Structure 1
Amino acid sequence: MSNTVKIVRFHKTGGAEVLQFDELPLPEPGENEVRLRVKALGLNRAEVMYRSGQYMETPILPSKNGYEASGIIEAVGPGVDSSWIGKTVSTVPGTCSLNGYGVYGEVAVVPFRSIAVYPATLSYEEGASIWMQYLTAYGALIWLGRVSKGDFVIITAASSSVGVAAIQMVKAQGGTSIAVTRTAAKKARLHELGADHVIVTDEEDLAGRVNEITSGKGARVSFDPIGGKMLASLAAAAAHKGIIVEYGVLASEQTLFPLSTALAKYLTVRAYVVVELAQHKDLQEAKQYIFDHLASGAFKPLIDRTFRFDEIVEAHRYMEANNQVGKIVVTV
């Protein structure tokens, strides 16, 4: 085993080109930590924002990056049972800081609480594509939204990995998914992935189409990472006493609260990030729900494209192009 490893860090914030491979001493896990020999990395929009200095956590430079990795535990620190060595696991986002525990590298040291076993039927690439998307969807749709049989659910940015996970989760809960995409380019693909309805906002009025689909009832739950003008549209499309869960700020314009519509419909507009669930006592229940649905085949991570480790800059640029449907994965 080499005494040094390649770890991806950035020494200044900016575009994808700030990511660099630093040759560093092989790190040893500390108390209640494990060292993972990384096999695959799942990329997330949050990591692009973090690298750019636009995330809710400010990087301490030079900074690591990366929430999701799959691989094999090769060392454990004090407080961790040695029987974990050799087990295949993946990392759970939101359970620790990107500053201290970013996983982009040939190895990653993470807290023991930040690992989870996934079904052995999944590949390393799929194993790195689980927790961010399904936990984010679970927190909004089940933990907060209580989606159940008969519910209409609007899913914006539906071609993202989280959006695809949400389509699968709504189906598993017996609801009806209304996927929203900006252009018609991804419409057919979203139907193939199980969306019951697809609305193309460049061509259709969102509230008007939802009114048609729901026979005038509106959608009880909306799941949105965009904000901006989208929030007003979702409020107009919402059912009486509906809930709109906002989990991102992708819009370039300011997000204004649709007070009049919210008052008229008794709406709940709820801000949510996966960290909230990841640090809550209900995390274990969420992980079990996801594991069981993965094992049964009800959930299946969708991988859009795979890059090599030495192509991680290109992988970040591809994510920024917004052309993917599903997860972008880097193999190590």
Structure 2
Amino acid sequence: MTKSVRIVRFNEFGDANVLQIKHEDLPQPGPGEVLLRVEAIALNRAEIMVREGRYLWNPNFPAKLGFEAAGIIEAIGPDVDPEWLGVICSSIPNFSPMDYGVYGDVAILPVGSLGIYPASLSFEQGAALWAQYLTAWGGLVYVAKIRPADVVLITAASSSTGIAAIDLVKAEGGISIAVTRTAVKRDELFAQGADHVIVSDEEDLVARVEEITSGAGVQIAYDPIGGPMLALMMDVIAKKGIIVSYGMLSSEPTVLPLFEGFLKYATIKTYDIHEVYDDPSLLATAVGYVTERVKNGQFVPRISTTFPLSNIVEAHKAMEASNHIGKIVVVP
């Protein structure tokens, strides 16, 4: 077992350049924990917010970072089932960034944050699996209760969670309208399975939705942006439709369009994936749902670009540039 390992840490909030690779002694898992030998790390946009000090929880310095990794269990804590040793699995990011982080050659994780993914997936795909598809399940199945033939508007559609939402809507027999800012990603979103694509920098979003739905609007709007986008979501939502607001990427104020909501009897639901993570029964249901659809080929995590761990700063800059479709993966 390697005695010295690389761990990514940061000592202050800031841009990607605050990330530093440190050489440290091999950590040992404590009670309820395992040591994962990391084979792949999937970057998550929430990690930018953690790094900048804008997340729901702020870590203590020197801080670790990272929610999603896949690898092999190399060591276990004193009260962990030895059957976990040697298991290939990936992290379900239901832990706090104040306590854990997966950027490095190894990662200490709670045993309750492990998910065994189907053997058909690579380490890279396994790392990219849980966060995006569990988030989409929670927002579209659990919260919005998607039905066959529902029309679903998906903003930030080229993100990993947007891609997962396209896959899920198709699996449930719905109709997806993917929204992207530039035409560069249009063909890729169609290839991913989107039924319609709206390029918001070139097209009138409201007019295009009216055209696609013959004026009826969408039953579900799935949005991680907020800000001015919320008013547009209300403009396109159908009567008795639901807007699932699961992020706050916009830096502009989010104004609640109450008057329009009253006219449409619409629901606006704020949703965070921890609503699923914090309920063991709900999480087990979601994991089973995702696993089944990976096995039948409906869900395949899309990998955009791969970086070596030594280029973690460049990987973060690429994530912030938002020119990719799917997941950026880092390999130790």
Q: If the length of structure 1 is used for normalisation, what is the TM-score?
A: 0.98
| Identity over aligned pairs, percent | 52
CA drift of 1:252 comes to 2.1
Aligned to 1:138: 137
| Local SS of the residue matching 1:315 | helix
CA drift of 1:22 comes to 1.5
2:158–2:325 contact (8 Å) kept in structure 1: yes
Unaligned 5+ runs, structure 1: none
Aligned to 1:62: 62
| Local SS of the residue matching 1:101 | coil
Aligned to 1:276: 275
RMSD between superposed Cα atoms in Å? 0.9
**Aligned residue runs from structure 1 range 92-171, under 5 A:** 92-93=92-93, 95-171=94-170
Aligned to 1:80: 80
Q: Which amino acid aligns with 1:253?
A: E
Q: Which amino acid aligns with 1:196?
A: D
CA drift of 1:59 comes to 2.1
Q: Which amino acid aligns with 2:155?
A: T
**Aligned residue runs from structure 1 range 141-220, under 5 A:** 141-220=140-219
CA drift of 1:185 comes to 1.4
CA drift of 1:79 comes to 2.0
Q: Distance in 2 between matches of 1:48 and 1:276?
A: 21
Q: Distance in 1 between matches of 2:324 and 2:240?
A: 34
CA drift of 1:4 comes to 2.1
1:218-246 Cα offsets, whole Å, 9 max, x none, are 11111101111111011000011111111
Q: Distance in 2 between matches of 1:35 and 1:140?
A: 31
Aligned to 2:263: 264
**Aligned residue runs from structure 1 range 18-37, under 5 A:** 18-37=18-37
Q: Which amino acid aligns with 1:28?
A: Q
**Aligned residue runs from structure 1 range 30-45, under 5 A:** 30-45=30-45
Unaligned 5+ runs, structure 2: none
Q: Distance in 1 between matches of 2:92 and 2:184?
A: 32
Aligned to 1:326: 326
Aligned to 1:234: 233
CA drift of 1:275 comes to 1.5
CA drift of 1:189 comes to 1.1
Aligned to 1:51: 51
Q: Which amino acid aligns with 2:62?
A: P
Aligned to 1:248: 247
Please identify runs of 4+ aligned residues in structure 1 that moved more than 6 A: none
CA drift of 1:3 comes to 2.1
Deviates more, 1:206-215 or 1:39-48: 206-215
| Local SS of the residue matching 2:133 | helix
Q: Distance in 1 between matches of 2:277 and 2:24?
A: 30
Q: Distance in 1 between matches of 2:213 and 2:328?
A: 33
Q: Distance in 1 between matches of 2:53 and 2:241?
A: 34
CA drift of 1:304 comes to 0.5
CA drift of 1:88 comes to 0.1
Q: Distance in 1 between matches of 2:5 and 2:22?
A: 8
2:154–2:223 contact (8 Å) kept in structure 1: yes
1:310 aligns with 2:310: yes
1:222 aligns with 2:221: yes
| Local SS of the residue matching 1:47 | helix
CA drift of 1:13 comes to 0.7
2:210–2:216 contact (8 Å) kept in structure 1: yes
